[in-house]
Amino acid sequence: MESSPSVTSLGQRAADRLTEIMGGWGTLGSFTAITLLYLAVNTLPSFPHFDPYPFEFMTFAVSIIANYQAMIVMISQKGQLVRDRIQQAVTKHILLSLLANTEATHALVHSQREATQTLIEMVRALQKASLAPETSTPLSTGVVAPSAINGL
């Protein structure tokens, strides 16, 4: 679990670390081994029985451990909830920025498309005008008709 020191307290970071440790197979195996050893010591005739059947002290100890583990897990979940909300806010901000950029890009593409269409229409109009039959121009002006240039 990644935690930011500015977001979580020392207690929340400790709860996160303990939750990581308690939630592993090693802890489960260790707890099972300790429980089996405790039961063996208190049931086998070769050992003194300090907590005979029905193992009231063990039941009490396991209840206390379970209560503390539940509280530690809840503290860790509360810290994770805060981190998730912060991450959600950051993600929302990023997505809104991307949406705004996408809309701006869409508007730019649309304006470029309109400008391109206008240029295409202008080129077609010029082509149409250059292919139109020439009107008579006086020879004294020195102007060469576009149809004469195309014929060269």
Residue pLDDT, tens place only, 60-80: 999 999 999 899 888 888 888
Indicate the SS3 state at residue 39: helix
Reported as a single tens digit per residue, the pLDDT across 116-151 is: 999 999 999 999 888 876 655 554 445 555 555 555
Q: Which residues contact 4 (CB under 8 A, 6 or more apart)?
A: 83
Confirm whether 149 is domain-assigned. Answer: no
State the Cα–Cα distance between residues 46 and 42, nearest whole angstrom.
9
Decide if pLDDT at 3 tops 50. no
Tell me the two tokens of residue 71.
């509280």
Confirm whether 146 is domain-assigned. Answer: no
Burial of 16 (0-12, 13-18, 19+ CB in 10 A): buried
Decide if pLDDT at 8 tops 80. no
> Cα-atom radius of gyration of the chain, to the nearest Å?
42
**Mean per-residue pLDDT for 13-30?**
87
Confirm whether 21 is domain-assigned. Answer: yes
Asked if residue 143 lies in contact with residue 134, where contact means CB atoms within 8 angstroms, the answer is no
- pLDDT for res 145: 53
Reported as a single tens digit per residue, the pLDDT across 97-110 is: 999 999 999 999 99
- Containing structural domain, residue 113: 10-126
Confirm whether 150 is domain-assigned. Answer: no
Confirm whether 23 is domain-assigned. Answer: yes
Confirm whether 143 is domain-assigned. Answer: no
Residues 15-24: contacts with CB within 8 Å, 24+ apart? 15/72, 15/73, 15/75, 15/76, 15/79, 16/76, 16/79, 16/80, 18/72, 18/76, 19/72, 19/73, 19/76, 22/69, 22/72, 22/73
- Residue carrying structure tokens 């295409």: 120
Which has more confidence, 138 or 18?
Answer: 18
**Overall number of domains in the chain:** 1
Confirm whether 151 is domain-assigned. Answer: no
Q: Residues for the chain: how many in total? A: 152
Confirm whether 4 is domain-assigned. Answer: no
